[in-house]
Every structure is written in structure tokens, then in C-alpha cells.
A = this chain, B = another copy of it.
Amino acid sequence: ANTHKIAVIAGDGIGTEVVPEGLRALEAAARRFDIRLEFEHFEFGSCDYYLEHGKMLPDDWFETLSGFDAIFYGAVGWPDKVPDHISLWGSLLQFRRHFDQYINLRPCRLMPGIKSPLADREPGDIDFYVVRENTEGEYSSIGGKIFEGTDRETVMQETVMTRTGVDRVLKYAFELAQSRPRRKLTSATKSNGISITMPYWDERVKATAGKYPNVSVDQFHIDILTANFVLHPDWFDVVVASNLFGDILSDLGPACTGTIGVAPSANINPEGKFPSLFEPVHGSAPDIAGKGIANPIGQIWCGAMMLEHLGYKEAGDAMVSAIEQVLASDDKSALTPDLKGKGTTRSLGEKIAAAI
């Protein structure tokens, strides 16, 4: 079997605490499924690196990381050290653009043992993916100011959608929907208000839907769609959205399942031309950093998504099952405090690795 080279960037705050547990679980899965993984650790992509070097990444980051099959990221950002727009645009958003990670994929699943903020929902009720466009749309850097500093001050920023950019995220989402039992795709739009780009999005959804006759398609405007995440989360299977709408929905979705602290996200270049990046949804959490109590499940779940991306679906599924098994177990002693346990990052990580 091939050896897969994984670049490990622990980053900031609890990133440095949960990454070792993610690696422990990955090593367990690699042993069980006979997968060869080779890890190399990097200091860059963190605020401490920035404070020392005046930049988030070394000049040759692109060449350095291009040789890897995937990037396993902890968390980036520590606003008291470096403003977010510097740390994030200097790292994560560079990777997304330069490695053409045009898919941001996030599962929203009600897990056993995790309390949902929604009333009367059981594990099994909520289980969908948000597929977010990850390179263009509302996150453009085109725009500027006129009449600066006066009462007439006016600021403009472009949203940019391309046929290439929209069609490829739709293709990915339709194929994902097709591979799932319900075969259902929901498109997030706002064509009744955002009257130029969003009707174009709708038009491409319609054109693409023609190629996937066995996928059932619906669409909601983003306002009522956020409402429906709360009111009818069971309606959804695969939700596809622009960069901004996907950003919103992929925080709201995990919030509705109570998993914002444990959800993973994958920044994917589906063609494998560039490395994809796997990172938990939770940030660096300065408030609990250094205490050894951060929940490592998001990082471990990221490992599962990474193995699936590398072609080891069975191994990825086994890691997710191990997480679910530990969460569902009556013995809460190893769980971290956020799960009402008395354990540590390490005790929970070891328990999941053992279950794998």
C-alpha cells in the first residue's frame, strides 16, 4: 500500500491539545486497517509563529505543503495576539484559495449522548451535510471606499460567482446526494432579494439538476432556511450553499445538533491535485486553552473525514462508530467536562483510540 504523507499543523490554543489525540486515533485506525500514514509537524500557521516571524506562513509554504496528501489542522486564531483578519486570511483562507479547496464539507449529525438545544429530537432525526462553496462568492477582495472620512463615505464590495466555481460545487453536492439513501438536495438561495448573483445560482442549480434525475431537489431562501434548520432539521440530506450562506449554515447546523464543540470540517480539493485540509469547527478556544480539558472529538472526527477522503471509507466509518460508541456508553468517567464528564482531553482520546 501507498504511504500517505500528512502535514500536521497544531496551530493555536486547544489546537495543540486536541491534535495529539487526533493522531492517536488515526494511528489506531491505521493499525487496524493497515493504512500507512506518515506525519510531519509544522510550527507555522499559528499566531505564535506570526509573533516571531511577522507572517503566518513561510514564503515557501506552497511548495512545502504541496508535497503532502492532506493537512491535519488544529485551530488557528488568538485575537489577543493577532487580529483574526490577519491570522485567518494569512493561513486558512490562503490554503483554501491556493490549494483550490473549493469544497467545504461539514456533517450535521445528532450524536448519542450529546444534548441538542432543540426540543424532542433523537439521534437519527438529524443527519445531513452542508456543502459550502469555499473559494469565491461573497468572500472576494474586490471593492473599496470613496469619499473616505466624510459624510458621503461609501463602501462597496463585490460578490463574484463564476460558472466554473458554481458548477463544480453543485456537481460535488449532487454526487454526494446521489450516494446517500435519501438522494435529496437542498439549495440555499436568496434570489428574491440578492437579485443578480443569486438568480444565477438558481439557474445553475436547475441546469445541473437535469443531469441527476434521481436526486430530488428543493430550494429555500436563506432566511427561511435558517428557520427550517431549527423547525424541521429532519427535512435535510445534502444542503448546498454559496461561501457566505454555507458559512452560516455550517455553524447553525452543528449548533442545532449540539455538536458545535465536536463537529469536523473538511476543506477539499476533490481532484486531489492539491492537499485537502481537515480542521475541527471549534476554534482555538483561548478561554480553556492550556487546561487539558478540551474535547478532542472534533479533531478525531476530522481524522475520519481525512481517511475517507484518502480512499479509506471503512476506516473513517470505524472511527465515527468508535466516537459514537464512547458517547453512548454509560461510563462517563473519561468524558471531558463539556460532556458532563470528569475526564481530560487525553482520557477521552485514549478511550476512543481503544474503541477503534
In the complex, what residues of B have CB within 8 A of residue A150's CB?
163
Q: Is B143 touching A163 in the complex (CB atoms < 8 A)? A: no
A1 within 8 A of B: no
Q: Is B158 touching A157 in the complex (CB atoms < 8 A)? A: yes
Q: Is B230 touching A248 in the complex (CB atoms < 8 A)? A: no
Q: Is A251 touching B231 in the complex (CB atoms < 8 A)? A: no
A67 within 8 A of B: no
Q: Is B156 touching A247 in the complex (CB atoms < 8 A)? A: no
Copies in the complex: 2
Q: Which of B88, B145, B192, B255 contacts A200 (CB 8 A)?
A: B145
Tell me the smallest distance from the CB of A122 to a CB of chain B, in Å: 12
Tell me the smallest distance from the CB of A166 to a CB of chain B, in Å: 9
Tell me the smallest distance from the CB of A161 to a CB of chain B, in Å: 5
Tell me the smallest distance from the CB of A235 to a CB of chain B, in Å: 13
A60 within 8 A of B: no
Q: Is A230 touching B252 in the complex (CB atoms < 8 A)? A: yes
Q: Is A161 touching B155 in the complex (CB atoms < 8 A)? A: yes
A66 within 8 A of B: no
Q: Which of B139, B151, B161, B228 contacts A194 (CB 8 A)?
A: B139
A22 within 8 A of B: no
A142-153 vs B: 1/0 string, CB under 8 Å? 011100001111
Residue of B nearest to A93 (CB): B193
Q: Which of B119, B164, B250 contacts A119 (CB 8 A)?
A: B119
Q: Is A200 touching B155 in the complex (CB atoms < 8 A)? A: yes
Q: Which of B115, B119, B195, B200 contacts A89 (CB 8 A)?
A: B195
Residue of B nearest to A199 (CB): B85
Residue of B nearest to A201 (CB): B155
For chain A, residues 205 to 255, give those with C-beta under 8 angstroms from any C-beta of chain B.
222-224, 226-228, 230-231, 243-244, 247-248, 250-252, 254-255
Q: Is B141 touching A196 in the complex (CB atoms < 8 A)? A: yes
What CA separation (Å) do A256 and B118 show in the bound complex? 9
Given that A156-B197, A194-B138 are known contacts, is A230 also in contact with B244, CB under 8 Å in the complex?
A: no
A333 within 8 A of B: no
A190 within 8 A of B: yes
Given that A157-B159, A163-B151, A231-B255 are known contacts, is A85 also in contact with B226, CB under 8 Å in the complex?
A: no
In the complex, what residues of B have CB within 8 A of residue A145's CB?
196, 200
In the complex, what residues of B have CB within 8 A of residue A226's CB?
226, 248, 251-252, 255
Q: Is A85 touching B138 in the complex (CB atoms < 8 A)? A: no
A84 within 8 A of B: yes
Q: Which of B88, B156, B223, B230 contacts A159 (CB 8 A)?
A: B156
A160 within 8 A of B: yes
* 5 interchain residue pairs of minimum CB distance: A227-B255, A223-B251, A153-B163, A157-B196, A143-B196
